[in-house]
Each structure stands twice: as C-alpha cells, then as structure tokens.
Chains A and B, each alone.
Chain A
C-alpha cells in the first residue's frame, strides 16, 4: 500500500496518521490520478457532452439544456439535475459564470458539495466495530467485503469476517478465498444456515478474540422482497444483542451502473436497517454513479467508499473533491 493510500485509509478510520504524513494536497492528487487512470482505460474521462459545453467560449441558453442532459445521462436523476442546473444558471445570471471553463469549475465544485460536504469517516471505536454490508443481488458486496478486510488488515486491524450470505451457492467459498488473501478470520456455517446466527457468532467471536472489526457480508436481496428485508432487519437486531451500539456502520453497496432504482434501494434498505453510507462499486468509464447524488439529496446518505476496478487497491475511501474532479473536470 502506498503512503498516500495509507494516509487516506487512516483518515477514514480515524486512526493516527502513519509517520511522515505530509500535506494532504499531494495525496488527493495521487488518488485522483489513480481514479482517473481506472476511469479512463481506453477512453476520455468526461462525456462528449460535457467536453462540448466546456469548450464553449460563452454560455448560451443551450448550454443549460445540454448540461441538464449530461447530468441525466450520468444517472443523477431529474430532480437533482434540474436543481443543480438551476443553481448554476443563477450564478451565470449574476455574472459569475460566463464561459464553458467557468461551468467546469462550478459544476465540479457543486458536485463535490452535493455528494459529500464532509470527508467520509468510518470511525473504528467499537469493541469490535461491527460493519454490516447490504445490497441488492450482484452489486458487489462480497468483493467489497474482501477488499475492505484486506485494507483493514494492512492497517494492522484484526478483522473477523462473517459469511452471512448463506443463500447464494458458493458465496461462502468466494468469501473464504478473500479471507485467506487478507488474513482475516472467517466465521461460517453451512449454506442455508440462519444468517442471524452467523452474524451473532461473528460478533461473539470477534468480541472473544478482542478483534478490532467484525465485517458481515449478507445475501443480496431486492429491496421489495419483504421477507428477505425482514430477515436483514433481524440480522441487524441480533448483533445489537451483544453490543447495543452495533451495528456501527451499515453500508449499502450500490452498483454505479444503477439507474433511478438506486433511490428505491437506498430508501427501503434505510427503512429496514438504517444506512450509514454507500459503497459505490464498478465506477468505470461508462458508469458515473450519478445516482449517488440523488440518494444524498433525497436521503442524506453519503458515499463512503468507491470501488472502480478489479484490483485490490481499487477500493478507496470516497473523496468527493477527487471524485468530482475525475468525473466532471476537463483534463488538467
């Protein structure tokens, strides 16, 4: 793990910064460069629509229509897109935005503020800190748990992973591979076992061993499946029996290619288990994860982690400024 990475993760977890930590600015650039690299494999980083707007010498009424379309095309949703365009138009009316370049600056700033006004934090102050990973099928929960455990281990945190996805065939085996890679302890039962019991065992085992973090993977479920959502509610309640402050974090894993259904996901998962943050996965060239803007706007739930590729180091603490720059800024 590079120094810049280590600092970013230490900051996320509220751990003491590693020795030699310097000015945060170069780190942000490092993160942004990596994200942009991941984002830009064989393509340009920003959409052609945005590139067209930014190239404009002056803003015209068409600029705003095009901007609205560009935001919708990034899955920001109608309401969030319209309100953002409205605010920028207001700035333009006051003469603070006159060129395409001004639009780029203002858009990047507004996006960062709207996605997360505060730096992401996942404080590790529980004994252990219990983190529940939830989401719909195929959003990337198990992979996220694996990468996350790896990061925690690298920072010297002891991790117990709970394989509470007892439904999907071979989900436990998949997690076992990740646990081995990260050196984390895995608590598992047979497929079809009660996920609540697995979660309970995980936290009990983490407590007994004095582990720092209990990381619980859950089965994918569509937010409209009432019985499965009730089951999830139970999983959250069960870990609360060991430590009434647990789970300390409930993270919704959200595929960045998700459209407006992401709002329904966030709303219903939040009602069931009270989300503390979003992990935006599979952010790549085509998918910009604009739905996270809509979720933050409507429910106030911020993005805390972002995953942008297949490699272990592709899971990063979410830095709204870097993210907005990587996705909405023209090339430096």
Chain B
C-alpha cells in the first residue's frame, strides 16, 4: 500500500521497530494523522471524533501492540471501522407490494437530482419496469423542460404542468401514472437549502400528498463539513430512506458519504459516476472506505476491465502475441479497449497511490500521448497497419502529415512496435531475452 495515510503511519511507527513496543504517545500521533486524513477527505468533524475514539480503543489493544507491522494493522483497523460505519453493500431501493412504487427525490440545489431521476428511471426501465417521471421543480427555470428532454432520451414518459403548485403537480403525476398503468413513479423536486423553512415545508407537503414508498436524499460527493447538517435537516423533515451520492467520477474523496450515513443511519443506495445516463452504480462500502482513505480502487478497475474486455478477443490476441504476428491493427484495438474503461486519468486514478504520487497534476500527459499514437496508426492504410515493414520514407511523411505529427514521432512508434513484437515473440517461445529482469 502506498497511500498517504499509510506513509504517515509508517513514519510515526518507524522509530519503533527498534524499541519493539508501542506507547500511548505513538498511538496519539497515529490518531492525529488519521484525524487529519479523514478531515482532508471531508468527513465531518463529529463523525471523525466518533471514529478516532473507536479506532484508538482498538489500536491500543493487543492486535496492534504485539504486531510486527503496527502501521499496517492500524490502517486495517481504520479501513474496517470505516467500512462498518458505511453500512451494508448493495441495498436495493424497496418496491411497493402494491404498485406503483413511488420514489421521492430531494436535496440541495445543484446536487444532481434531475439527472439522478433520469438515471434511476433508466435503471428501472432496463430491469423491465414501467417507470414514469414527475417534474415538480417549479422554482428553477426550465427544470421541467430538462426532465422532459431526459425522459425522451431514455424513452420514459414525463408528467409536467405549467402551474406553480408543486404539491398539486405531484398528486396529478401519481394519478396520471396510475391511469397509464406505470408501476414506478419517480418524483423530482426543486433543490432547497436545508434552512429554508418554506421550501422544506413544501417538500413535507409533497411527501404527504404522494405517500412515497421511499424518499431518496441526493448528496453531492464534493460536499464538505455541512453534509451532517444537511442530512440532519432532511432526516428531520422527510425522514429519507436512502441516499444517492452523485459526482463521484471526479477526484472528491467523498467523506460526505460517511458523514451522512453516520448521522442518519440510512444506507447509500446508488452512486453517480458520470455525465451519461447509464452512469449509475450500486454502492460498495469497502471501496468507498478505500477511496476516503486515498487507497485507490483496484476492485472497480478490475470490474471495469472485465466489462470492457471481451474474453474471446483476449484469447485470439494471446495467440497472435505468442506467434509474434501482432499487427498495428491489434495494437490500436488494445489501446481502445483500455480507453473504453474511461479517460486514462480516471483509470490511473483507481490505482492505489497513483493519485497521491501525482497530487492530481499531470494525470493527462498520457492521454495526449495516446491520442498521438492513435492518430498515427489511424493515418496508415490497412496494408500498412498489417505490414509495417512496407512503410518507407514517403509513406512516413504522408502518415506524419496526416496525423499532424512529425516523421520522428512516426519513426519512434514504428521502432518501438518492432522491438515490442520481437520481445513478445521471444517470450512466446518461452525464452526471455538475456538481460531482461536483471538476469
């Protein structure tokens, strides 16, 4: 593990190996590092205090004191405590025994409610249900229009009205859904500040009017210390049943997830991971814990790879690699498979320690380089891609100008590819080239 917290803890515990025994002062220093790390990840202060107390109690126990690797033991405890506090994995949104199931969405302005409504509707439609959307945000200009456009994109009907009475629109929407025989209704509401009494009252009245099966609080993953206040206010007003955590595709560590969960005790149901309407994923507490601790997300990376790479293609490629007959065409194909997993920066960000090592900077250098390599290969004819040895000086000049690169860059790519193919051929025969791996 290479993450920031581990590094800090290693520093704290390093002097101790010689002494062989942890003191209370060592533990206190470790707790300070943990506190700092959690606060930097935007976990709310009261939750941080609660956590560090629990962690300190366990850290002072035998499992750490007697361990040869106390730093790793402490990280393990932190990760376990975080995961436990985060709650169960994959909690499903409860469905009504007698349809329609009614889901009421609530949250602050800009948390991503409208997009989340459409994502949820799409999700349920995929599962064979007949969802309907109800546009009750009468406050933000064109909010109903936005939902209507999204509804068209996912082919889900949207109930909207010209009026200004959100409660009436909600009630009519449910009525319309019943008439149309829709079995799941998602009610979008206006964003509201948790301290705005009138607006919170409107939400309560909508809830009373539609009697939802569940209320979902939508929270922005970038939320800071106020997450606890927001969760408390919405829990008091509408007693929400679960949380949707949005905008997790950025580099926010997402401590708000922990705060909301700790304060409300309600599960996180979904996470939003992108602009596209299919970017809605179930929640994994252990992965979220790793993310908050800055330890990367290897599980998600593996899953993404499995989703994008076709096993049949992989087998065929392996044959080619072993036979030394891989072409530039295959190479381009491979590159695109990796890119399908997301922008390089995002894929790399899932690797433990990477984000920390680069401090969020220069993550995109590789994307640019890959773009150029791709452009070069795309500027070749099929014949050239399959038989790079035919590429002579004039072809090189044409490829360079076609791809907006230089002849040197084309040369570089060709010679790298040649070497790679040679190496693969040798490996395929079972023999490693001399000098490799220090032998």
Contacts and interface: CB of A to CB of B under 8 A. Distances in A.
A42 B195 contact: yes
Interface stretch (A55-63, A71-79, A126-134): A71-79
B256 A72 contact: no
A134 B250 CA distance: 16
Contacts of A267: 360
Contacts of B426: none
Interface string A13-47: 00000000000000000000000000001110000
A158 B361 CA distance: 40
Given A169-B146, A267-B360, A282 B193 contact: yes
Contacts of B226: 75, 257, 286-287
Given A138-B112, A173-B142, A284 B36 contact: no
A174 B140 contact: yes
Contacts of A282: 108-110, 193
A137 B247 contact: yes
Interface string A115-157: 0000000000000000000001111100100100000000000
Contacts of B36: 78
A259 B42 contact: yes
A226 B370 CA distance: 13
B195 A260 contact: no
A312 interface: no
A199 B233 CA distance: 40
B256 to A, nearest CB: 7
- Most interface-central of B148, B149, B222 (chain A CB within 10 A): B222
Contacts of A260: 40-42, 224, 253
B251 A286 contact: no
Interface residues on A, range: 35 or more
B165 interface: no
A224 B250 contact: yes
A287 B39 CA distance: 16
Contacts of B247: 136-138, 222
Contact of A258 (B109, B140, B223): B223
B250 A75 contact: no
A3 interface: no
B146 A257 contact: no
Contacts of B140: 143, 174
Interface in B27-62: 36, 39-42, 44-45
A169 B149 contact: yes
Contacts of B195: 41-43, 284-286
B250 A222 contact: yes
Contacts of B45: 69, 72-73
Contacts of A86: none
A257 B108 contact: yes
Contacts of A285: 193, 195
7 contacts: A69-B45, A143-B140, A169-B153, A173-B142, A224-B363, A257-B223, A258-B223
Interface of A: 41-43, 69, 72-75, 77-78, 136-140, 143, 146, 167-171, 173-174, 176-178, 191, 222-227, 255, 257-262, 264-265, 267-268, 282, 284-287, 290-291, 309-310
5 smallest A-B Cβ distances: which pairs?
A259-B224, A138-B110, A259-B42, A169-B149, A170-B146
Given A138-B247, A259-B256, 10 more contacts: A73-B45, A78-B40, A170-B145, A173-B142, A224-B249, A224-B346, A255-B220, A264-B252, A265-B222, A286-B194
